[in-house]
């Protein structure tokens, strides 16, 4: 696989499991002016570790790979397509199982329509109940890569979930809520009664191939 300068690239490294490995790897990347967009430890064993980096790289990737392979802690280096190219934007749907399924039906169908036109939108579902569990999951969405929108599908959500929704919205995450009891709808960007429509609107809101902008809506309850 070859990548031209300026591309977003993915690099998977197999390394020794030892203190300071990440420091050495990021030092090499910094010397090549690489901008780390995401990093994840794929596998962490007692003697070996697999690490994935997604980078914006102004120079050629071959020089970076050569210097990474020269490190004593590195066993193998593999250039891969970035997850942004493969999986693209992510939509997370969480809440009660049946309602999550209905939202997913609309989201997956709409994502397929945009993906055949060049988009890369994936849909993740998290059937989950309980105030504290849901609040923690909402906050965790900001730690997941490529998440653009969250849909909350349930019958009753409020309390700490509402606070979590306001926190992630302040950090730029789009939150769509089903029209349910509790204070979460008041804290969300959009409130949609029909779960299938909620899934469709979530995809339309993040797709570059859709002419739909949440900020231009005259009302936010549907």
Provide the pLDDT for residue 1. 41
**CB-CB contact of 124 with 92 (8 Å):** yes
The residues with which 96 forms a beta bridge, in sequence order, are: none
Mean pLDDT rounded to a whole number for the chain: 85
What pLDDT was estimated at residue 107? 87
The reported pLDDT for the residue numbered 68 is 93
What pLDDT, on a 0 to 100 scale, did the predictor assign at position 222?
Answer: 85
Report d(CA 203, CA 190) in Å as an integer: 13
Contact 139, 164 (CB under 8 A): yes
pTM score, whole prediction: 0.69
Which residues contact residue 84 at a Cβ distance below 8 angstroms, ignoring those fewer than 6 apart? 8, 37, 54, 120, 146
Please calculate the CA angle 133-136-141 and round it to the nearest 5 degrees. 125
Q: Is residue 131 classed exposed, middle or buried when 0-12, 13-18 and 19+ CB atoms within 10 A define those classes?
A: middle
Q: With a cut of 80, say whether residue 32 has pLDDT above it.
A: yes
């Amino acid at each position: 696989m070859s990548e031209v300068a300026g591309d977003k690239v993915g690099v998977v490294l197999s390394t020794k499991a030892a203190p300071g490995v990440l420091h050495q790897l990021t030092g090499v990347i910094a010397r090549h002016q690489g901008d780390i967009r995401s990093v994840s430890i794929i596998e962490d064993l007692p003697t070996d570790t697999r690490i994935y980096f997604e980078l914006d790289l102004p120079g050629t990737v071959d020089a970076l790979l050569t210097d990474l392979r020269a490190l004593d802690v590195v066993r193998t280096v593999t250039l891969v397509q970035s997850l942004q190219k493969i999986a693209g934007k992510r939509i997370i749907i969480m809440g009660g199982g049946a309602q999550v399924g209905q939202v997913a039906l609309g989201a997956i169908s709409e994502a397929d329509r945009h993906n055949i036109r060049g988009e890369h939108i994936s849909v993740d579902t998290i059937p989950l109940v309980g105030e504290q569990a849901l609040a923690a999951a909402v906050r965790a969405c900001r730690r997941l890569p490529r998440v653009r929108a969250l849909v909350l599908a349930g019958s009753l959500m409020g309390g700490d979930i509402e606070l979590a929704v306001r926190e992630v919205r302040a950090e730029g995450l789009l939150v769509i809520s089903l029209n349910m009891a509790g204070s979460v709808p008041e804290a969300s960007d959009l409130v949609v009664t029909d779960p299938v429509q909620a899934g469709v609107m979530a995809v339309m809101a993040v797709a570059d191939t859709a002419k739909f902008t949440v900020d231009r809506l005259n009302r936010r309850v549907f």
